[in-house]
Amino acid sequence: SPQDDIEIIDTELALADLATADRVHDRIRRIANVGDKEARATVAILDRVRAGLDAGRPVRALDLAPHEQAAVSECHFLTAKPVMYIANVAEDGFEGNPMLDEVRAIAAREGAAVAPVCNKIEAEIAELDAGDIQEFLDDLGLNEPGLNRVIRTGYDLLGLMSFFTAGPKEARAWTIARGTTAPGAAGVIHTDFERGFIRAEIVAFDDYIAFDGEGGARDAGRWRLEGKDYEMQDGDVAHFRFNV
């Protein structure tokens, strides 16, 4: 069952983390024993982590404060990482599937994400020409390929999003954290863009498509100028003005 499979993997990850915690604990404790206050605090956090792992709780479920997470960041605990379950289902298994419902229930309890996919469908999509994919999905009553769903779910889980730059020769997607301002997004392209940021010319993705590019969006009044405090939105098409 999905529950059994998940428990097996969780146990293996927890055992690996416990071994790491024990190893680091022994090293830090020797430093703490000579009176280092920071080391003593880290030992206390590791004691809490070890107790949680012994009780079957992943590190991500221990509600460590940011400073506590930073104190044990060198451990790179596997069970501290966000989790996404990719559930392989039959072609008709996206709805009314007890096993998928079980995975979703487990994920809900853990604060994890679920992305159902059908490997058989994905294999067939991989063999199709790009122009035939949407018709194939429509016939199956699906909105998108499973790979798209996995990518989007992963982005949401990690707090990421994309913005686009588009020119005569190429269009490109750039990955940024949600909440990134326009200068920060510009810096992903090149640090000079952030350092000398002046303004951003922004068109929402849907408007860019609906009005056939930047020129049409500008004519329709959907093109706008944004300053350094602008928080980028998922799918923004951006052109950055800068001077260094």
Backbone angles phi, psi at 88, to 5 degrees: -80, 115
The per-residue pLDDT for 62 is 92
Superfamily of structural domain 160-242: Beta-grasp domain (3.10.20.30)
The per-residue pLDDT for 64 is 93
The per-residue pLDDT for 111 is 86
Domain 2-80 part of CATH 1.10.150.300: yes
91-94 long-range Cβ contacts below 8 angstroms, 24+ apart: 91/118, 91/120, 91/121, 91/140, 93/118, 94/118, 94/142
Tens digits of residue pLDDT in 148-175: 999 999 999 999 999 999 988 889 999 9
Task: Check pLDDT > 90 for residue 133.
Answer: yes
pLDDT (average), residues 58-79? 93
Tens digits of residue pLDDT in 187-232: 999 999 999 999 999 999 999 999 999 999 999 999 999 999 999 9
Q: What is the CA radius of gyration of the chain?
A: 24
Burial 32-44 (b: 16+ CB within 10 A, else e): beeeeeebeebbe
The per-residue pLDDT for 1 is 86
- Asked whether the beta carbons of 3 and 106 are under 8 A apart, the reply is yes
Task: Check pLDDT > 90 for residue 130.
Answer: no
CATH number of the structural domain 84-157? 3.40.50.300
pLDDT (average), residues 114-128? 95
Percent of the chain past pLDDT 70, that is, above it, reads 100
Q: List the domain boundaries for the chain.
A: 2-80, 84-157, 160-242
CA 128 to chain centre: 28
The per-residue pLDDT for 110 is 86
- The pTM assigned to this predicted structure is 0.79
How far are the Cα atoms of 65, 171, 172, 197, 242 from residue 191, in angstroms, in the given order? 31, 20, 17, 10, 11
Backbone angles phi, psi at 161, to 5 degrees: -155, 175
The per-residue pLDDT for 94 is 92
Q: What's the chain's average pLDDT?
A: 94
The per-residue pLDDT for 151 is 95
219: its two tokens: 């004519």
Cα–Cα dist 36/230, whole Å? 44
The per-residue pLDDT for 104 is 96
The per-residue pLDDT for 36 is 85
The per-residue pLDDT for 51 is 96
The per-residue pLDDT for 154 is 95
117: its two tokens: 């996919």
